[in-house]
Structure 1
């Protein structure tokens, strides 16, 4: 409140420190652009964006170590709200030499008996498995990894398929192999992205500028939303 009171002396100008967060698997895709946007719109704001896991978000917000967090709209407890910005579509990734690679799309039923390389991270784990549960299916989990890139590399090597939401701009893995991304039909991701903050408390002006930067990057003026990609 004191920070906003000082800012009101110059309502057209924001300055000073701002500590915010970005969910760790979203960071490689969105953090650089969000930081660039807030530096462009608020050049005198000293913005530091911390990578955080799902289990850290509630604690860091309630301890006021962070003013807001760009993240998935998981349940972080009664004290945290998420202002939703966009939905992250779900897709399956397979190796180039997979029999499924020539397909234009797949279903969860076609994947369930195949070996799954699961991205195993906090609340993300339950989300991926819930897609199968909701469809009345039981996936065959071959391996679990907490690293997005390890999962992609394992799939490219032919160890199985995976289910993901964030899609790199290229198909290459870190070891130089390629993946094929396939839409999963008959299922909606229901995985929403947005800005988490303390419930019942209005964002301060600098945190709102961060939220606006997230919105500008996810929903550019050309009208193409994340769910269209």
Structure 2
């Protein structure tokens, strides 16, 4: 059976959201269609891409490697479809603000693609914290922002989520919790916990921890994702972070594994923001449509 773009798109959505049901909602199709497409894809490849559990699905090692190939294939197809736009007459300057995590782990690839699609458009990037981004959008200093929309509650800002990155438990390669079929917050609370603080990660974490009877046993608070990665890989502690910042190896070359918790953990939403009363310029509209097209968000009016 030949591999299809439909299978790749459904696979990517499921990998990013961690649940077949959420992928179906995200793609505005039935869950059975997603299930069938992924089963067909696995049959074509002759290997399992996901580990299924009651709480959702987790990528196998093969699945993680295939995800990178799927991104490359879909991006190449997207570029091919947009070849007529490479000589775009869209001109001007667009000021985009971005938070640290977004700029470090998400945005650069898409800025490169936007520069290729709209060579006459100058994109100015500004790295700021959320408060400064919100203030800059409202004052008109920045046209748009790419940030963690799950942290934004300002009613004066229009928000359009782009991806929802699943949060999982990070553990070292030989951690005892890897042998458990089900891992809960109660068990994580018994482990030394490394708390990331950048981009309000600690506040976000405590919101979902406070919905449980337990609290994390925090041994270190750090703004460095690489410090968290090294501490976890070295067996000094565990962490709960999103798939967007996950990498399987620490700087020392030690392996990091992930576990999907039984207890609910909210996904980290990344997306666009702009002043609600600001009319979208052609450049803003182009950026918005690029992200909608790339991440298969259902198209809405307005």
The TM tier, using the shorter chain, reads 0.7 to 0.9
RMSD: 2.3
Q: Distance in 2 between matches of 1:217 and 1:108?
A: 34
Equivalent position of 2:138 in the other structure: 62
Residue 186 of structure 1 and its aligned partner are, at CA, apart by: 2.8
Which one has the bigger helix percentage? 2
1:1-229 equivalences under 5 Å are 13-73=89-149, 74-103=151-180, 106-168=183-245, 170-219=247-296
Q: Is the 8 A contact 2:106 2:244 kept in 1?
A: no
Q: Distance in 1 between matches of 2:278 and 2:161?
A: 16
Change (3 A) 1:169 1:126: closer
Q: Where do 5+ consecutive residues of structure 2 fail to align?
A: 1-87, 298-302
Q: Is the 8 A contact 1:55 1:122 kept in 2?
A: no
Show CA shifts across 1:59-100 (max 9, x none). 221232211111112235333231223322111101112112
SS for the counterpart of 1:26 is helix
Q: Distance in 1 between matches of 2:242 and 2:285?
A: 26
Change (3 A) 1:77 1:168: closer
Q: Is the 8 A contact 2:183 2:262 kept in 1?
A: yes
Change (3 A) 1:169 1:138: closer
Residue 165 of structure 1 and its aligned partner are, at CA, apart by: 1.0
Q: Is the 8 A contact 1:22 1:69 kept in 2?
A: yes
Q: Distance in 1 between matches of 2:251 and 2:195?
A: 18
Q: Where do 5+ consecutive residues of structure 1 fail to align?
A: 1-11, 221-229
141-150 vs 92-101, which moves further: 92-101
Q: Is the 8 A contact 1:33 1:217 kept in 2?
A: no
Residue 160 of structure 1 and its aligned partner are, at CA, apart by: 0.7
Q: Distance in 1 between matches of 2:109 and 2:234?
A: 31
Change (3 A) 1:186 1:105: same
Show CA shifts across 1:81-135 (max 9, x none). 3122332211110111211234466322221221110011253221111111112
* TM-score, length basis structure 1: 0.81
Count the aligned residue pairs. Answer: 210
Which one has the bigger strand percentage? 1
Residue 35 of structure 1 and its aligned partner are, at CA, apart by: 0.7
Higher RCO (C-alpha 8 Å, min separation 6): 1
Show CA shifts across 1:154-198 (max 9, x none). 111111100101345741112222211111223141432210111
